[in-house]
Amino acid sequence: MPTLSVFNSISLDGYFTDAHGDMSWAHRGPDEEFDAFTNANASGGGELVFGRVTYELMAGFWPTVDAFDAMPEVARQMNDLPKVVFSRTLDEASWANTELIGDDLIGAIRGRKAGSGPDMVVMGSGTVVAQLTDARLVDEYQVVLVPLVLGAGRTMFEGVREPLDLVLTESRTFGNGNVVMRFRPNG
């Protein structure tokens, strides 16, 4: 049965985007160990899940020469993996291997989780993360804590209506100051 994970970077003050919706602050200077972790994570396979805003950011970067120059392994995986974007406003999804679903996020993810398809990973997509969290469909949250204070922005849990108790299952600190933490719902 496929699992659903969330992978997001957050600032020390809890934001996954800054006040202008930008996530580029999450990419700190070179760190061989963190780069190796990122490459290994990207090669894990599965299906990528996005909301419209994150999909447009990702589709605008990963197929470019700049992406392949900066992170060739991650760029290859991001382009090759199957993707699904949930949007009521997009008419098409032109990034390679992308399926567009216009409505019923919860029903679509429940159906995928009940099937025999690949594991799924939500990246960015705070509105999607909040809805899936409320529906208790997320099996794991993988959070990269970036030692940076933004002062304002959006949390990936904006709009969650009920508290969710989590258990820390793993943490790892990197030379660039990033801390990767994995959490699963408690219970």
- Average pLDDT of the segment spanning 10-24: 92
Comparison of pLDDT for 134 and 34, the residue scoring more:
134
Helix (H, G, I), strand (E, B) or coil at 167: strand
Q: How confident is the model at residue 70 (pLDDT cuts 50, 70, 90)?
A: confident
Between helix 72-80 and helix 32-42 the angle, nearest 10°, is: 20
Q: What is the pLDDT of residue 23?
A: 86
Would you say residue 48 has pLDDT above 80?
yes
Would you say residue 71 has pLDDT above 90?
no
Q: Rounded to an integer, what distance in angstroms lies between the CA atom of residue 29 and that of residue 36?
A: 14
Instruction: Give the residue ranges of DSSP H helices in the chain.
Output: 32-42, 52-61, 65-70, 72-80, 105-114, 126-134
- Mean predicted lDDT score pLDDT of the chain: 92
Q: How confident is the model at residue 35 (pLDDT cuts 50, 70, 90)?
A: confident
Would you say residue 186 has pLDDT above 70?
yes
pLDDT in tens, 107-157: 999 999 999 989 999 988 889 999 999 999 999 999 999 999 999 999 999
Q: What is the pLDDT of residue 109?
A: 97
CATH of span 4-185 = 3.40.430.10
Q: Rounded to an integer, what distance in angstroms lies between the CA atom of residue 44 and that of residue 60?
A: 22
Q: What is the pLDDT of residue 30?
A: 72
User: Per mean pLDDT, which range of 33-42, 53-62, 73-82 is the poorest?
Assistant: 33-42
Q: Rounded to an integer, what distance in angstroms lies between the CA atom of residue 79 and that of residue 29?
A: 23
Helix (H, G, I), strand (E, B) or coil at 50: strand
Q: Rounded to an integer, what distance in angstroms lies between the CA atom of residue 55 and that of residue 86?
A: 9
Q: What is the pLDDT of residue 43?
A: 67
Query: Is 0.95 topped by the overall pTM?
Result: no
